[in-house]
């Protein structure tokens, strides 16, 4: 007999027929009621064991974490809390789980403890829900772009280019680290390395995506990116997934429209597909917030927050306006910010971004036209000669979720900028070719997938929305 997923059993349109279910025991009560979960849904199916006719040795093996297969009648449940249950006629233990040793006990565990058991935490309700939502969000990303005719491009993971010019890269080498080949000048001889040059893990697929946008029109990437920035925060990972659309003939306004429409689409898609998981995550968040002081609790529940983003336009504000707001803000005047905002040109820290979003505007904000010297080399210079067509989207509780720009399409201006910043023209000869041959206005952005998952699940630490997080001093599993 083929087994049926718990989700399908719970949605069954008929009753009183024989079914087979397989899954893992969440709890076993009164020697009679198994709560069985197989990951297809957050909900368990109750399996009622005929304990009088089941050997004591078998009953003892029905422990939290054990894998079991049950066969029995699917019937309407007499008990409260579930519509259907299985009256078990045959039970088989597929894999035992020592109740004394299994770390995922049916009780509340700290998130820190669960991180240390990342291979087992997915067996909890919360992590099952988070990972299903993450998967649906990924599908939403592809559905959105595919429906709009974007081409999915796989940009390289190993690259010679530093796309962001920030130098926070993991080096890739096949050279023996304890016996490096040295040039006559005494430097490491990368000509002898696997690729015959110095290479890194990519920090962004943007530069390669731009070359594709200049032929295919609308493209997007969705892949892993790596940053060796030593920021041990709740919003930074060393390995994260980024979505980077790039569109020929789009200017910065088109870019903002695309980003806003895209984010609203994927949230709506997930609200439609994951109602049970999101409802669970909403109550989890309410529970977690009870331990916080009133002033720090969010004013909206998770679902209210998600619906708010769907129903309201993102507020578009120039960097210059934002600086004025921050300079006159109470935390700035009372010296409550760690970095005080005194003048135009200051880089915004997450405390400033969060003030703008959470205290001042109380909605998602798109900041644009940043000072050229705090942004990457490829952004288009404005007529004022000091700002660039950059945009960052800031979300409540998250801060920056998207970074993007209109690209500098003018060869001369781009070369000039690269010279000033000391970026090697020869390294990027292929990138410069896009400006030599058929250059055109184009724009794109990068959305950090885990930051989106954080927002949608209401989790507060980025380590809890990726299966096996990579952070400074941590690459377990």
442 binds, among Mg ion, ligand 4AD, none (CB under 5 to 8 A by kind): none
**Judged by CB under 6 A, which stretch of 80-88, 232-240, 364-372, 409-417 contacts ligand 4AD?**
232-240
Tokens of 298: 């969010």
DSSP 378-431: TBPBPTTSSEEEEEEEEETTTEEEEEEEEB---HHHHHHHHHHHT--TTTTHHH
**Judged by CB under 6 A, which stretch of 46-54, 67-75, 281-289, 399-407 contacts ligand 4AD?**
399-407
Residue 429 and residue 418: Cα distance in Å, rounded?
Answer: 12
Q: Which is nearer to Mg ion, 28 or 319 (CB)?
A: 319
Residues forming a β-bridge with 315: 365
> Quick check: 72 and 3 in contact, CB under 8 A?
no
Total residues at the site for ligand 4AD (CB under 6 A)?
24
**Judged by CB under 6 A, which stretch of 9-17, 144-152, 397-405, 453-461 contacts ligand 4AD?**
397-405
Contacting ligand 4AD within 105-164 (CB under 6 A): 163-164
* Residue 400: CB minimum distance to ligand 4AD, A: 5
Handedness of CA 248, 253, 254, 258 (dihedral sign): positive
For ligand 4AD, the binding residue among 65, 72, 396, 446 (CB under 6 A) is 446
Nearest CA to 24 among 142, 122, 141, 143?
122
Residue 124 and residue 109: Cα distance in Å, rounded?
Answer: 10
Residue 474 and residue 477: Cα distance in Å, rounded?
Answer: 9
Q: Establish if 403 lies at the interface with ligand 4AD (CB under 6 A).
A: yes
Rounded to a whole number of angstroms, the CA Rg of the chain reads 27
**Judged by CB under 6 A, which stretch of 134-142, 340-348, 394-402, 409-417 contacts ligand 4AD?**
394-402
* Residue 290: CB minimum distance to ligand 4AD, A: 28
For ligand 4AD, the binding residue among 64, 450, 455, 458 (CB under 6 A) is 450
**Judged by CB under 6 A, which stretch of 27-35, 317-325, 424-432, 441-449 contacts ligand 4AD?**
441-449
Residue 288 and residue 70: Cα distance in Å, rounded?
Answer: 35
Q: Which is nearer to Mg ion, 129 or 452 (CB)?
A: 452
> Quick check: 74 and 12 in contact, CB under 8 A?
yes
* Residue 261: CB minimum distance to Mg ion, A: 20
**Judged by CB under 6 A, which stretch of 46-54, 81-89, 348-356, 442-450 contacts ligand 4AD?**
442-450
Q: Establish if 370 lies at the interface with ligand 4AD (CB under 6 A).
A: no
Locus of tokens 């998250």: 398
**H/E run at residue 29:** strand 17-29
Q: Which is nearer to ligand 4AD, 121 or 407 (CB)?
A: 407
Contacting Mg ion within 360-419 (CB under 5 A): 403
Q: Establish if 227 lies at the interface with ligand 4AD (CB under 6 A).
A: yes
* Residue 438: CB minimum distance to ligand 4AD, A: 20
394 binds, among ligand 4AD, Mg ion, none (CB under 5 to 8 A by kind): none
Q: From residue 460, give the alpha-carbon distance in Å to each of 336, 403, 448, 452.
A: 23, 20, 15, 11
Locus of tokens 């990342």: 118
Q: Which is nearer to ligand 4AD, 113 or 430 (CB)?
A: 430
Residue 55 and residue 448: Cα distance in Å, rounded?
Answer: 53
404 binds, among ligand 4AD, Mg ion, none (CB under 5 to 8 A by kind): ligand 4AD
Residue 341 and residue 331: Cα distance in Å, rounded?
Answer: 10
* Residue 304: CB minimum distance to ligand 4AD, A: 23
**Judged by CB under 6 A, which stretch of 6-14, 118-126, 398-406, 466-474 contacts ligand 4AD?**
398-406
Nearest CA to 92 among 19, 21, 7?
21
Tokens of 202: 């990519």
DSSP state of 336: -
Strand 158-159's sheet: what is its strand order?
A: 158-159, 199-201, 171-172
Locus of tokens 């893992």: 24
Handedness of CA 184, 188, 192, 195 (dihedral sign): negative
401 binds, among Mg ion, ligand 4AD, none (CB under 5 to 8 A by kind): ligand 4AD
Q: Which is nearer to Mg ion, 85 or 210 (CB)?
A: 210
For ligand 4AD, the binding residue among 123, 380, 451, 463 (CB under 6 A) is 451
Binding mask of the shown chain, residues 184 to 223, with x at each position contacting ligand 4AD by CB under 6 A? --------------------x-x-----------------
- The binding site for ligand 4AD (CB under 6 A) comprises 163-164, 204, 206, 227, 229, 236-237, 240, 242, 244, 400-405, 444-448, 450-451
């Amino acid at each position: 007999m083929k087994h049926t997923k718990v989700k399908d059993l719970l949605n069954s349109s008929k009753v009183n027929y024989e079914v087979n279910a397989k899954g893992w025991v969440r709890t076993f009560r009164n020697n009679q009621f198994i709560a069985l979960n197989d990951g297809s849904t957050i909900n368990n199916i109750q399996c009622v064991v005929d304990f009088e006719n089941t050997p004591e040795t078998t009953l003892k093996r029905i422990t939290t974490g054990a894998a079991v297969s049950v066969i029995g009648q699917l019937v309407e449940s007499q008990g409260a809390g579930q519509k259907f249950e299985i009256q078990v006629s045959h039970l088989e233990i597929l894999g035992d789980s020592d109740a004394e040793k299994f770390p995922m006990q049916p009780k509340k565990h700290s998130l820190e403890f669960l991180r240390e058991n990342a291979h087992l935490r997915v067996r909890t309700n919360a992590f099952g829900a988070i990972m299903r939502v993450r998967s649906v969000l990924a599908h939403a990303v592809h559905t959105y772009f595919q429906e709009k005719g974007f081409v999915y491009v796989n940009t390289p993971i190993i690259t010679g280019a530093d796309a962001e010019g920030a130098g926070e890269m993991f080096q890739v080498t096949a050279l023996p680290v304890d016996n490096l080949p040295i040039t006559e000048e005494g430097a490491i001889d990368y000509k002898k390395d696997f690729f015959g040059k110095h290479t890194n893990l990519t920090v962004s697929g943007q530069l390669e995506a731009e070359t594709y946008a200049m032929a295919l029109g609308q493209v997007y990437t969705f892949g892993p990116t790596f940053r060796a920035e030593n920021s041990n925060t709740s919003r930074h990972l060393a390995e994260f997934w980024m979505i980077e659309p790039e569109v020929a003939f789009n200017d910065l306004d088109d870019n903002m429209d695309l980003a806003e429409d895209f984010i609203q689409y994927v949230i709506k898609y997930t609200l439609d597909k994951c109602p049970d998981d999101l409802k669970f995550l909403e109550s989890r968040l309410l529970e977690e917030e009870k331990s916080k002081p009133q002033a720090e609790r969010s004013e909206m529940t998770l679902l209210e927050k998600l619906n708010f983003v769907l129903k309201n336009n993102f507020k578009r504000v120039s960097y210059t306006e934002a600086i004025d707001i921050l300079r006159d803000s109470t935390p700035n005047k009372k010296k409550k910010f760690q970095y005080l905002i005194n003048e135009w040109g200051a880089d915004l820290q997450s405390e400033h971004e969060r003030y703008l979003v959470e205290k001042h505007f109380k909605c998602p904000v798109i900041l644009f036209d940043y000072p050229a010297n705090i942004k990457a080399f490829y952004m288009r210079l404005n007529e004022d000669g000091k700002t660039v067509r950059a945009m960052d989207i800031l979300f409540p509780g998250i801060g920056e979720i998207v970074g993007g720009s209109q690209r500098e399409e003018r060869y001369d201006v781009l070369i000039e900028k690269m010279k000033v910043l000391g970026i090697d023209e020869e390294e990027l000869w292929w990138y410069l070719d896009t400006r030599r041959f058929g250059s055109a206005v184009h724009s794109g952005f990068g959305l950090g997938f885990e930051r989106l998952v954080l927002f949608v699940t209401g989790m507060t630490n980025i380590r809890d929305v990726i299966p096996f997080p990579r952070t400074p001093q941590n690459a377990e599993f």
